[in-house]
A and B are shown apart, each in its own frame.
Chain A
């Protein structure tokens, strides 16, 4: 009655309110490190989402002629590489070769077949190499024993070099980022979903239900964490989709504790008492008063959980339990790189730089969000 009239007048007045969210946003915008991290993360997500289509290589495409080439801005092949590669390609054609000449991106070589006339199908040997395309047999002598093979030299760029199997590392790193970021987000969502539901229920019900639910959390807590993850991986098999479920299913414990504690303290706050005194039902209190007040800590914890999950996924992949070849993640790439650092440090350094900078930015953003959302800061 009078209350509804009051709120009615308040709504009519054109005063711009300062909502909690707007306040937090303003504080976050003032935090340069957090904003820079946010921009960096958005850029990283975009690059990982779009990048693999733009590099010109598929993430699982194997270049047998370019195994373990070092990172370079100039396109391959190197001049010195063309001749031997042509000889190698034609080694099975049973023809004698002249010297290989490269002019304007076209390689040509004189071929002589002493016994039989030249078989035009030998161009296929050349096309099969990663270096050449569009090979053709020209300048045939009338008897067909002497000719010239002309082929376009395929220019390819490997900005980060290639891995042990001859796959483009840049494409693989970006593809890995896609997987790592996706897993990080999805697993965090799973963890938050389970954690908030469990914690809020326990906190709101209180009493015996709370005690039992929290003892379950305690027991799971006491079990060594890696043991638990490995068990889940063993159950689900080494399946990419299920790995993040497993990770999420392990990471919800902290969330449940935080949410339960928050719910318990919120339940006794004056505004909840006031709402109860006014006869608001339990569901209404949860929806209107408890859940919005939970949002702050949950969001902060989520941002800090994403790097934790990415780290955990990388750790599992590092152990060979996570993402399986030819699909890849930063953990997989780092594990590969760690095995061959002496010969090819780039294999470790590039994915490690991507992973570390992402984790760094996520941590900064999380710290910034915590400062922005912490009511004590106001």
Chain B
């Protein structure tokens, strides 16, 4: 298993390399630069800035030196957030995003599998219809509608929770962002669980288990849910990566100091190093969580073995 994990991580290096290369050249092709402000800088100042940040070197040289720095774990300084290195920005924001995203994922997995199982057990009855409606709503209402609505209902009308703001990470400030992040995922997990569970409940192993007279709980949770959870696990990998790298919508509306907003801002500001940093971090999360998913798969499904 360890050998398998290591092989997978090694195999990810070429993928990462291609992504870094593509992103590096794409952002450089885009017109404008980090120092092109509304009021143009003096030519001499511009020249100095470009020299300090090595932007005057040929592109391939910049690319090679960036790759070299990356190998040493150096993401470089941010061009727009002066006095901050990209690593410092991530050190400050990433834990917050990971925490919010992780909580949202756990919430989504728990609520989603529970709702999905409930719907499958009461297939074509009222509970099923309710769960499916919730799931469809969760998928169709975009987060940038859900977030202000939640903030309006719970923050302004009911006054139970703060409508926005971070409050230095107090728990009450985290509830609405986590719920907003979790809702669409709850919807997807419910749908996946429901479909797989309906199939699993009708399958031969479950029928056999029932015939043995096992308790209802054992049949549903140990036998049916175990196979029904597989599609959820493979969905959870990419979802975890997406959730934990932050969401610009949630961060903007609730004022959360995570890393999701850096992505959009950096690309718009041509903050080259920060853009590259976000691309690398997101790619690493995707690769890592895909690996984790495959390992969990092997734990749940006895048919899957990694030599």
- Please report A residues at the B interface, Cβ cutoff 8 Å: 219, 222-224, 226-227, 230-231, 234-235, 307, 311, 314-315, 318-319, 321, 331, 334-335, 337-338, 341-342, 345, 348, 352, 355-356, 359-360, 363-364
Contacts and interface: CB of A to CB of B under 8 A. Distances in A.
Q: Is the interface of B mostly helix, strand, loop or mixed?
A: helix
A219 B18 contact: yes
B86 to A, nearest CB: 15
Nearest to B261: A319
B203 to A, nearest CB: 19
Given A224-B263, A227-B275, A334-B145, A359 B268 contact: no
16 contacts: A219-B18, A219-B22, A222-B15, A231-B267, A234-B30, A234-B32, A234-B268, A235-B30, A318-B144, A318-B249, A334-B145, A338-B147, A345-B152, A348-B148, A352-B145, A359-B142
Contacts of A356: 140-141, 145
B42 to A, nearest CB: 25
Interface string B87-128: 000000000000000000000000000000000000000000
B46 interface: no
A227 B279 contact: yes
A224 B140 contact: no
B140 A307 contact: yes
B149 A352 contact: yes
B110 to A, nearest CB: 25
A223 B18 CA distance: 10
Contacts of A234: 30-32, 267-268
Contacts of B147: 338
Contacts of A231: 26-27, 30, 267
B268 A222 contact: no
B163 interface: yes
A342 to B, nearest CB: 5
Interface residues of B, number: 37
A227 B267 contact: yes
Interface string B131-146: 0000011011110110
A276 to B, nearest CB: 38
A222 B144 contact: no
- Max chain B CB contacts within 10 Å: which of A219, A227, A315, A337? A227
A338 B146 CA distance: 10
Contacts of A223: 19, 22-23, 26, 279
Contacts of A337: 148
Contacts of A341: 148, 151-152, 156, 163
Nearest to B32: A234
Contacts of B268: 230, 234, 321
B248 A319 contact: yes
Nearest to B267: A230
Nearest to A348: B148
A338 B244 CA distance: 24
Nearest to B21: A219
Contacts of A345: 152, 156
Contacts of A318: 144, 249
A104 to B, nearest CB: 40
A235 B32 CA distance: 10
B264 interface: yes
Nearest to B142: A311
Nearest to A362: B140
